[in-house]
Structure 1
């Protein structure tokens, strides 16, 4: 049933029928086919404000109009205050990004206010709405799923450069800055590196400390020419798990590793034995480590001598002499360990094994070897 509408004149005459002609409200309501409460409200309104009662046609009284005007003005002032906070970064951007911002926020603020705040025309915005997506937007829509897939596949550890190389490897053609922009717009931010460096407080045997033959030359012309080694520690609910690793500087591949609950010489010996077993008995190999008690131990030194390995050690307290190894452990902790809570040493062993053998060696792109994985790099040079 349609809502009945009454003019101001009708309402005034209905009230006069009650007030001036002595007809009761109930009788007048019946005669005029009105609800009694409606007629009583009309009588009350005309009595309290004869001049401004019943403005009609959806109009408000002057004082109500002023209140409404002030309410709209306050709302606009609040919007002008809040808009720069959300759209500050867009003030120097092109119209495309400003229009996209307006579409996203037009349910919060009127389009006219948004266009005025971002210095674009309303006609331009509506014309943009009618147009199809631009070539740039189409390219962005095509690249974004690939970028997200690369970022997720790296356990959310890849920055723009590594993602860029993944996208290029899939055959796409784009620049690094586009990848940076799309990652920023889609909130794909790699976990920042932790800067803490592990320390070894074990006693060193001064009579077997070797000079720093490597001398921070972290490149190798051929495989099995320079190996670097160190160990770190991972916290679990059962206590510390110590992880030793050996890396071939030619391809940055982890060629040997060992994990134990004790920080002993056997830990680093097992890592070196694994490397020799996997790569074959070395010829003219340089092995570089720090001066930790495990590496200066008689057992470890004997193992190297029996295999014809030349020993090199970092200077005391100088972690930069083995920076490439520190970088690997930093990546391990940033990209995997810091995201986990290990309830047992076995759980930590399984996860670190997965990181080394199924991600770092075979998949993770390394900046020093042309953003290839170590296994892929060795395959390209015909090593594997």
Structure 2
């Protein structure tokens, strides 16, 4: 009997090993709740939420308005879930798209190729009273080619100023006139005048002061001058002060960006003679006492170009060299 039981058990074990039951591997199908919406119903609810007259409304607003029309689609919470599943939980209205702001890239290799201009405020005799200084300068020489001070900021005044400057320079307009995006800079009066004079206008990007660096630097030099008053008693006083400062800035101020020459010297082509004079003086000093110099002195070079957002600098990759660790 014992042998028979062993034999029977062995046969059963062999049978199980020979024909195992098939196993099911996931994923297991999700059981659908009786109250769950079908894909067709969800698509219909989504189309209702995205209707043109509902696109700017919240799902709660859509829910009650549909109830007022005698239609019930689902609960308010389900509407939110349908939008979330469709990744439309945010803004459903058509959004305005604006073109990417073009970075202004201007290059000048000599005077009267690119002018830059801007308007700065000057404090008047009392709080809330301001005078507006319109200043136009050549970016290559940093020479202030023209200015005016008025009680208001106006595009027609700016157009008249540019037209007067071109007439005083013998009818030789620049190729480009750069400014920021203020109301006077983008006015129709100035734009039409620039078209008539065949001057290409250029504008800075919004909230990007680096797009107009030359005018910003000139205003900083102006307002940090030692005799710049806290307030001006009248617009005539502001004009008188500006006239004296402009003469100093153009003919006496040695500008670091142009080899420490005056803007007038670079603008009118005498800077090369001045540099040679400086070099002769340095050569004499070196010849008299060479032991006082580490190397032969050289006068600062003249500028070769002036650029607003120089494309060569913007395209150059920044290389960071890792310095070896030195143990002391």
Provide the TM-score with structure 2 as the length reference.
Answer: 0.48
Higher helix proportion = 1
Task: Choose between structure 1 and 2 for higher RCO, CA contacts under 8 A separated by at least 6 residues.
Answer: 2
Provide the TM-score with structure 1 as the length reference.
Answer: 0.41
